Amino acid sequence: MLVGLKMGAAALAPVLLAFLLYLFDTKTKFGKLKNMHKQLIVGVVFGALACLATQFGIPYDNYMMNVRSAAPLTAGLVFGGPSGIIAGVIGGLYRWFSVYWGVPMYTRIACSLATVLAGVFAAICRKFMFNGKKTSWFYGVFLAIATEVVHMLLVFLTHMDDIMTAFAVVKKTAVPMIAANAVSLFMSLLFVSLVSKRRMRKEMPVGMTETAQKQDKGTRTITQTFSLHLLVSVFVAFVATIGFTYFLQDNVGNLEATDLLTININDVKSDISGTVNSEIEKKLKNVANNVEKNTTDFGEGAWDSENDLSRTKFLYGNLGNMTEIYYIDTNGDVIACSDEQYVRNFNLHDSEQSKAFLFLLDEPYNRLTFVQDYMPMGYDSTEYRKFAAIQLKNGGILQIAADKSSFQVLIRETMDSAATNRHIGQSGFIFIVNPDDKDKPIISAPEGTVSTDDVLTFTKTVSELENGKMLTYETADGTSYYYMKDVVEGYLVVACIPVSEADFSRDISVYIGAFMQLVVFFILFLVVFFLIKNIIIDNIHKINSSLAKITNGDLSTRVDVHENEEFASLSDDINTTVSRLKEYISEAEKRIDQELAYAKSIQHSALPSVFPPYPDRTEFDIYATMNTAKEVGGDFYDFYLLNNDRLAFLIADVSGKGIPAAMFMMTAKTMLKSYTETGIGVADVFTLANQKLCESNEAGMFVTAWMGILDLKSGVLKFANAGHNPPLIKHKDGSFEYLKSKPGLVLAGMDGIKYRENEMTLVPGDELFLYTDGVTEATDANTVLFGEENLKNTLDTCQNRTAKGRCDTVIDAVNAFVGEAPQFDDITMLSLRYQCSDEKGDEKNVKELTIEAKIENIEAVTEFVDNELELLDCSPRAMMQINVAIDELFGNIANYAYHPGHGPATVRVEVVEEPLSVVITFIDAGQPFDPLAKDDPDITASAEDREIGGLGIFMVKKTMDEVGYEYKDGKNILTIKKKLN
């Protein structure tokens, strides 16, 4: 238990060190060091850990264990191959020299080499198997097991002359050290992997984190799937092979142990029986010789008395240890013997024991002898005898016998000689037990090896055991023995051999076989893995890389993988397919280009493209252009005269690009023009067009549009906006500003929408610039937008006064801004300049100012009119009267025309030559109101009796030469005229 805890603590050391170094690498400045420096530091640190594992080894049954290989393996697999090699070299060198300060010498070479190889294995696997990345715990455990197996094989290899001791070391230490190193690698790789994934998910955006989680749960790569199945197959093959080897070796070992014990028992039996029988035969022949020399006849009763027996013994030779003598005639009858009870009372045919001697009577005389085993007598089974017989010349046989006591004296010396110093294998032994004297067994084992008590226990155990059958017995000191028994001459002979010795060949075969198969399977796995990776996986990656380029549009890419026939065929097929695809695409592109050219021609022919469109009309100057991002686009513009005095113009942008947008654009353009030409207002045109476009709009497309209808005589512009960019309007001072109005929803966006009509009055010289978002959203190479501010600045600084010049200036500015960046959206513009009928004839006679009708703007209007009057050398008196009129008339518009809000008012100054006069016109789109309709106030009445109001208009009437009012096209138009001389 304590050893297990120590090994567990030693296995945790590389885990904690790897965890801390990984945190340092990701959380501190350590991670910013050059890789070479980090590898050196990590290698030295883990090398020091390997040295500590050597120095503080864990004792176990006179052997020393450690978890040294885990240090270089962890360094190499987690942090990099160089660090693993450095750690392995440091740990190996320390183990080599550690014998000088007390570390055991026996496994010096094996441990030193194994430590270096651990770092080398980790570096090789990380580079070639795992592509320089951290591996999973699964492969780390496998590599740790393989490394320690090589360690154990090196122990055998370096001690071939002492294989039993080497096996004892391996048998005790292999499993704990392999398990400890494998667990250490498992925990190190698992913890580092968990920390690494957690850090990556924290650093990734939310969407990327979800993707990574899906990938974690997704399918494996071919390499992962193949290696997993290969490892499982190798493991199953390994278990099956080792199981079969163990079963086979176990049976072979049992047979060998059985044969060894049987041979030794038979040898003992042969030695004892041969020696005893030989001795008895000598005595038998000696007695027979004496009988044949001195006696020719044996009569009845010749051996009846004890004295006769004594004489007979003396006469016929000394029997020594033999106690009985018998003469048996040719019929098998006992006719003379040392025991009178058998004379004429026993025949050899009377018992199975005695029948064994009958063949001597049947065979011709040849001095044949026969010695029988020590066994119960045929006449009395309670008595044991050792019989021997010999043929006599005069017929019959002479038989001698030894009883129990005489036989034991005879056999004891023989047994001592047969059993002394007899060993079975290295430490097996023989013991012989006399059933009548069990306390004095004959034991061949060295003194102190096996006790008498163990022998007695053996004797009790084997008493009922079948002869020649092998069983197992464990002695008091815990040693297990295989044993087998047999009986010779009545004595129990038992052969024993330690189980460990008998099973040594089996165990060492299984261990070495298992280790070698692990190494072979590991090498086989690496070879197959490398072959699959280099021949299949790498080629698949090459093909996939080429296919990725092809699928991204680079059809010039060729797949060039010709290492073997299958991939060469696949590469050629892909290249042929791509070549055919390029041909088809080329043909399709030509056909599409032709069709798109026709479509572009049709689309552009549907738009006004001849400029000036109305050469005889001088009231306005208009120009429009459309540059599509593709061959056809969704932008469009249009303009047309509704009658002699009204001009409709619009610009629009359809959602989407290409053919669908172009088709929707044609539908929308045709529909808008059709509704506009009916004479309805622009808001109603949008309302009806929206209703119609919403019908059967399954594609979900929509169109933004800005449309205006301009009265060329009055300058009144009525317009509506369906979600489009606001146009820019140019003031008299030459600056542009965005014409802000509340836009409606896009056309085809929602059924049932009603649009709002807006109105303003243009004065000669005003300009409108309409555009689509392709202008303001044009982007340069850095994805910076051209923007509304750039557009306004471009128009402000444009010196060209024609509509075409404005458009050309803007498109040049956009192109300069965008540079080489591609055009992503259609760019469409329309420029309109309102000139009125006589502007080109005598532009200096008419000046106009449009301004918001507010009291605070009276000063600006007065200044505008005064500037014109000063050019005409107007007298101060006339100028003062005009200023009073402006104050009254513009103040009325500001206070009442748009009450409670505000709206635009236009002040137009016109010079009349004969007589020199100035005509000032006030125009607003407010509530209809004729200030001249009210009667003049009675100035003769007192202030208390006069009605309030009307005095200002009365003064205007009195000071001006002419005052007129009309309400036309929804506008209040009040005109005053003042002669200047």
For the stretch 296-316, pLDDT in tens is 444 444 444 444 444 454 444
The least confident of 220-234, 326-340, 523-537 is: 220-234
Q: What is the mean pLDDT of residues 827-844?
A: 68
The C-alpha atoms of residue 616 and residue 962 are separated, in whole angstroms, by 34
Task: State yes or no: pLDDT of 806 exceeds 50.
Answer: yes
pLDDT attached to residue 315: 43
- Residue percentage of the chain with pLDDT more than 70: 87
810 φ, ψ (degrees, to nearest 5): -65, -45
Residue bearing tokens 């004489």: 311
Contacts 24+ apart (CB under 8 A), 820-823: 820/781, 821/779, 821/780, 821/781, 823/627, 823/629, 823/774, 823/778
Tokens of 328: 């048996």
Whether the Cβ atoms of residue 928 and residue 972 lie closer than 8 Å to each other: yes
Asked if residue 816 has pLDDT above 60, the reply is yes
Continuous segment of H or E residues that includes residue 397 = strand 397-402
Residue 811 buriedness (CB in 10 A; 0-12 / 13-18 / 19+): middle
What local confidence, expressed as pLDDT, does residue 383 receive? 84
What the block records as the tokens of 476 is 């008091």
Name the fold adopted by 420-502. Beta-Lactamase (3.30.450)
Q: Which residues of 29-46 are buried (b: 16+ CB within 10 A; e: fewer)?
A: eeeeeeeeebbebbbebb
Burial class of 928 by CB neighbour count within 10 A (0 to 12, 13 to 18, 19+): exposed
Task: For residue range 408-454, list pLDDT tens digits in order.
Answer: 777 777 777 777 667 787 778 888 887 777 666 777 766 656 767 77
| CATH for 846-979 (3.40.50.10880, 3.40.190.10, 3.40.50.170, 3.30.565.10) | 3.30.565.10
Query: Percent of the chain, pLDDT > 90?
Result: 22
- For the four alpha carbons of 32, 37, 39 and 43, in that order, the dihedral sign comes to negative
Residue 204 pLDDT grade (very low, low, confident, very high; cuts 50, 70, 90): very low
What is the average per-residue pLDDT within 535-560?
80
In the predicted model, is pLDDT for residue 10 greater than 50? Answer: yes
Q: What is the mean pLDDT of residues 107-133?
A: 88
User: How high is the pLDDT of residue 305?
Assistant: 43
Identify the pLDDT of residue 395: 83
Task: Please state the domain extents for the chain.
Answer: 2-195, 259-407, 420-502, 607-834, 846-979
What pLDDT was estimated at residue 283?
85
Q: How far is Cα 685 from Cα 745, in angstroms, rounded to an integer?
A: 14
Mean pLDDT throughout 642-647?
Answer: 89
Query: Identical fold at 420-502 and 846-979?
Result: no
Q: Crossing angle for the helix pair 35-55 and 81-97, nearest 10 degrees? A: 30
What is the spatial distance between Cα 955 and Cα 943, in angstroms, rounded to a whole number? 16
pLDDT at 540 over 90: no
Choice among 17-21, 164-168, 231-235 with the minimum mean pLDDT: 231-235
Of these ranges, 269-278, 336-345, 455-464, 740-749, the one predicted with the greatest mean pLDDT is 740-749
CATH 3.30.450.20 for the 259-407 domain, yes or no: yes
654 close to 665: Cβ distance less than 8 angstroms:
yes
pLDDT above 90 (res 683): yes
The overall average pLDDT reported for the chain is: 82
315 compared with 364, residue with greater pLDDT: 364
Q: Would you list the DSSP string of 597-637?
A: HHHHHHHHHTS--SSSS-TT--SEEEEEEEE-SSSS-SEEE
Q: Tell me: the pLDDT tens digits for 247-277?
A: 887 788 788 888 888 888 888 888 888 888 8
Q: Is the pLDDT of residue 208 over 70?
A: no
Q: What is the pLDDT of residue 297?
A: 47
Hey, CA dihedral for 78, 81, 83, 86, is it positive or negative?
A: positive
| Amino acid 657: pLDDT | 73
User: Does the pLDDT value for residue 841 go beyond 70?
Assistant: no
Pick from 33, 9, 5: which is nearest to 21 by CA?
33
- DSSP E strands, 136-228: none
If we measure between CA atoms, which residue out of 274, 253, 267, 256 comes closest to residue 422?
267
Looking at residue 209, its pLDDT comes to 45
pLDDT of 597 strictly over 50: yes
Q: How confident is the model at residue 949 (pLDDT cuts 50, 70, 90)?
A: low
The confidence score (pLDDT) of residue 948 equals 56
886 DSSP 8-state letter: H
pLDDT of residue 615: 77
**Lowest-pLDDT choice from 386-390, 507-511, 690-694, 865-869:** 507-511
pLDDT at 111: 92
Of the candidates 411, 435, 431, the one whose C-alpha atom is nearest the C-alpha of residue 422 is: 431
Could you give the count of Cα atoms lying within 13 Å of 326 in the half-sphere of its Cβ?
28
Q: What share of the chain is helix, strand, coil (3-state, %, to 5)?
A: 50, 20, 30
DSSP string, 629-678: SSSS-SEEEEEEESSSSEEEEEEEEESS-HHHHHHHHHHHHHHHHHHHTT
Query: What CATH class has 607-834?
Result: alpha beta
Q: What is the mean pLDDT of residues 63-84?
A: 90
Instruction: Give CA torsion, residues 105, 107, 111, 114, to 10 deg.
Output: 150
Query: Could you give phi then psi for residue 451, rounded to 5 degrees?
Result: -85, 165
pLDDT tens profile 739-794: 988 889 999 988 889 999 999 998 888 899 999 998 998 898 888 999 999 999 99
Q: Closest Cα to residue 266, out of 496, 465, 495, 444?
A: 495
Q: What CA–CA distances, in Å, run from 552 to 269, 469, 556, 570, 772? A: 92, 81, 11, 20, 31
Helix (H) or strand (E) holding 907, with range, is strand 904-912
Choose which CATH entry (1.20.950.20, 3.40.630.30, 1.10.1760.20, 3.30.465.10) describes domain 2-195. Answer: 1.10.1760.20
**Rounded average pLDDT over 925-950:** 72
CA 247/CA 842 separation, integer angstroms: 123
Tell me the pLDDT band of 327, cut-offs 50, 70 and 90: confident
Per-residue confidence at 945, pLDDT binned at 50, 70, 90?
low
